[in-house]
Chains A and B, each alone.
Chain A
Amino acid sequence: MRVNPRTTQSIAKAVIWSAAILVLVLLFAVIIYILSKGIPSITWQFLSQIPSDMGRSGGILSPIVGTLAVTLVAIVVATPLGVGTAFYLTEYTRESLITKIIRFSAESLAGIPSIVYGLFGFIFFVIYLHLGWSILSGGLTLAVMILPTIIRTSEEAIRTVPPMYREISFSLGGTKWQTMIKVLIPSALPGISTGIILGIGRCVAETAAVILTAGSALRLPTSLFSPTRTMAVHFYILAREGISLERAYGTAALLIILILLINIGANLLVSRFVAKSH
């Protein structure tokens, strides 16, 4: 007996809607739960004081600064390296086996678990290079971690610039360098920026690669060589050891808000440029 296709459609629709609702429920359960428990803790004192008494009291100023510092170092190091490499790969080399290998390697390295980067960073930066637990060690480890992603997304963005743009520029007498500055960078900027913002998001949320490279010191860092906690590490320690659930939720809520702002910024950037290019 053949089942009426309309019936199967109704059943399928029901299943699909339930799946979507399930995802939304999970979304609520995680995000709303953390935000509802955490936002009450986010006061001006919370944001402006450093943790004291192992984190049982005080605020999270040093983790906030730590997060920004480590992310800044990572971006400042990885962006020029990544975008420059992408330009070199697309503009100055011919498509060959070497470039294919490089692309595949960048792809694979982008997928390595962050803990492996943490292990490498700990042994190489902290111990071998004697940088100790520091913003520098943490930032460099994160830079290495996001470098493949930035190379990949930048390369993708540059390659998808229509060849016509380049041809027009050359036919107008522009050099490769001028073409790059005036034509390629503006066109590829949304893609490149997306890669950078993805990198920022990853740095902010990262724990495994940072906990043993930037350390877990509580005080406000005073130099690139100071150890520091990032917010994610601070949350992990507070929550795990049951030191202060209140402040743990506050830290998590702040993290989520930060990620939200980063995402919104990224979307605005992309939509603005997409609109402009039309």
Chain B
Amino acid sequence: MKKGIFKYPKILRISIVFCLVISLISLTFLIGCSRSENSVIVAGSTSVQPFAEVLAEEYMILHPGVNIDVQGGGSAAGILATQSGTCNIGMSSRNLAGTETKLWSVEIARDGLAIVVNPKNSISSLTIDQVRDIYSGKTGNWSLLGGKKTAIDVVTREDGSGTRSSFESLVMGKTEINARAMVQDSNGAVRQLVADDPAAIGFISLGLVDKTVKAVDLNGIIPTRENVTNGIYNLSRPFLFLSLHEPTGVAKDFIDFTLSDKGRQILDDQGLVTMAVNP
């Protein structure tokens, strides 16, 4: 009678040994390099994230051997992660407030905030007061604004979103957003909701507006990159890179890259508005 492990059929024995070997090899490979000085973690605003990812990709091509990892979570999460040291560079899509101002920060671009509705919606123009009344719940039906007789489906971002905070300070002022508004956790999700629901309204990054949604004119001003640049369309917010202390090493290099002509060209191509560098 065969004993121990030899009781099992040959194929099983081989596969067990195979799995063990693979596991051992992978583990040694993974344990191999522990956290190196050449890796930078960038975390925070989901609005800034896609742009940071493109910048990181480009940077890593130019500087092989350096690792830049971009993580989402929202502006508030990014600020927290920066303060706790969980990330090297934080991303925020709103201005810092209160104790947050102790962090080192630099503005890498400006992003317009677009109010979007479904393309099937007949309304193309709203005033800021009207938007505020919609979001507070005061105006509940599109017919009150000249549209179809359907209830307005209000879409907002989550509490920790920089986009939402910017929206609140620029549009809502002291008025609270209606508790019945639907909450989505990223620009893309808001855009998709508005694109699917004829009665929806939402706010997203201007750079993310595409054919699936319609950006309304605010107080008669068309939301375009030019109008954001020259300040006529004033619903815009800063994209910030944050750091606990003055950045050093690879983090500093990456931030410098972002602020350089090459970095700003990348951001401009993606639809953001970058400031001119003072000579």
The distance in angstroms between the C-alpha atoms of A163 and B54, with both chains bound, is 63
B31 within 8 A of A: yes
CA distance A132 to B7 in the complex (A): 44
Chain A residues positioned under 8 Å from B188 (CB to CB): 240-243
In the bound complex, how far is the Cα of B43 from the Cα of A212, in angstroms?
11
Partner of B71, one of A53, A76, A215, A225: A215
Is A54's beta carbon under 8 Å from chain B? yes
Interface assignment of B60: CB less than 8 Å from any CB of chain A: yes
For the complex, what is the distance from the CA of A217 to the CA of B88, rounded to whole Å? 14
CB of B155 to closest CB in A, whole Å: 14
A222 and B57 form a contact (CB under 8 A): no
Residues B41 and A225 in contact, CB atoms below 8 Å apart: no
Would you give the shortest CB distance from B185 to chain A, in whole angstroms?
8
Partner of A181, one of B4, B27, B41, B187: B4
Give every chain A residue within 8 A of B23 (Cβ-Cβ).
72, 76
A242 partner, pick from B43, B73, B191, beta carbons under 8 A? B191
Q: Closest approach, in angstroms, between the C-beta of A138 and any C-beta of chain B?
A: 12
Interface size on A, residues (CB 8 A): 35
Query: Are B186's CB and A240's CB within 8 A?
Result: yes
With beta carbons under 8 angstroms apart, the residue of A126, A219, A223 that contacts B31 is A223
Tell me whether B33 and A223 are in contact (CB under 8 A): yes
Among residues of A, the one whose C-beta sits closest to the C-beta of B57 is A52
- Which residues on the B side are within 8 Å of A215 (C-beta)? 69, 71
* Residues on B facing A (Cβ under 8 Å): 3-4, 7, 12, 23, 26-27, 30-36, 39, 41, 43, 50, 53-54, 57, 60, 67-73, 84-87, 185-189, 191-192, 212
Asked if A26 is an interface residue, CB under 8 A from chain B, the answer is no
Chain B nearest CB: distance from A119 CB in Å? 13
- Which of B27, B67, B212 touches A219 (beta carbons < 8 Å)? B67
User: How far does the Cβ of B173 sit from chain A's closest Cβ, in whole Å?
Assistant: 29
Cβ B27 vs Cβ A226 within 8 A:
no
Q: Given known contacts A130-B85, A132-B86, A133-B71, is B189 in contact with A69 (CB within 8 Å)?
A: no
* Least Cβ–Cβ distance between B251 and chain A, in angstroms: 14
Complex contact A219–B186 (CB within 8 A): no
- B84–A54 contact, CB under 8 A? no
Instruction: Please state if A223 and B30 are interface contacts (CB–CB under 8 Å).
Output: yes
Q: Is the CB of B35 within 8 A of A225?
A: yes
**Cα–Cα distance between A257 and B36 once the two chains are bound (Å):** 35
Q: Do A218 and B70 touch (CB < 8 A)?
A: yes
Residues of chain A contacted by B86 (CB below 8 angstroms) = 126-127, 130, 132-133
For the complex, what is the distance from the CA of A53 to the CA of B54, rounded to whole Å? 6
Q: Which residues of A contact B67 (CB under 8 A)?
A: 219, 222, 226
What 9 new A-B contacts, CB under 8 Å, besides A130-B85, A223-B35? A53-B57, A54-B53, A68-B26, A132-B87, A219-B60, A221-B30, A241-B189, A242-B212, A272-B12
Query: Could you tell me if B34 and A223 are in contact, using CB atoms closer than 8 angstroms?
Result: yes
Interface residues in A184-221 by Cβ distance below 8 A to B read 186, 212, 215-219, 221
Contact between chains at B71 and A227 (CB < 8 Å): yes
Alpha-carbon separation in the docked complex, A272 to B11 (Å)? 12
Question: Contact flags (1/0) for A216-248 with B, using CB distance below 8 Å?
Answer: 111101111111000000000100111100000
A222 and B34 alpha carbons, distance in the complex (Å)? 9
A135 within 8 A of B: yes
Could you tell me the distance in whole angstroms from the C-beta of B33 to the nearest C-beta in chain A?
4
Q: List B contacts of A216 (CB < 8 A).
A: 70-72
- The answer to whether B30 touches A135, judged by C-beta atoms less than 8 angstroms apart, is yes
A182: Cβ under 8 A from any B Cβ: yes
Chain B min CB distance to A27 (Å): 25
Q: Are B41 and A69 in contact (CB-based, < 8 A)? A: no
In the complex, A240→B70 CA distance in Å? 18
- A72 and B31 CA atoms in complex are apart in Å by 13
- Partner pick for B192 among A72, A212, A242, A272, CB 8 A cutoff: A242
- B70 — which chain A residues lie within 8 A by C-beta? 216-218
Kindly state the separation between the CA atoms of A197 and B168 in the bound complex, as whole angstroms: 48
Instruction: List 25 contacting pairs A-B, 8 Å CB cutoff, sorted by A.
Output: A54-B50, A54-B54, A68-B26, A69-B26, A72-B26, A132-B41, A133-B69, A133-B71, A135-B30, A182-B3, A216-B71, A217-B71, A218-B70, A219-B60, A219-B67, A219-B68, A219-B69, A223-B30, A223-B33, A223-B35, A225-B34, A226-B39, A227-B41, A240-B185, A272-B12
Query: With the chains together, A169 CA to B278 CA distance in Å?
Result: 85
Partner of B32, one of A53, A219, A223: A223
Q: Which of A39-70 contact B (CB under 8 A)?
A: 52-54, 68-69
Q: Is the CB of A224 within 8 A of B26?
A: no
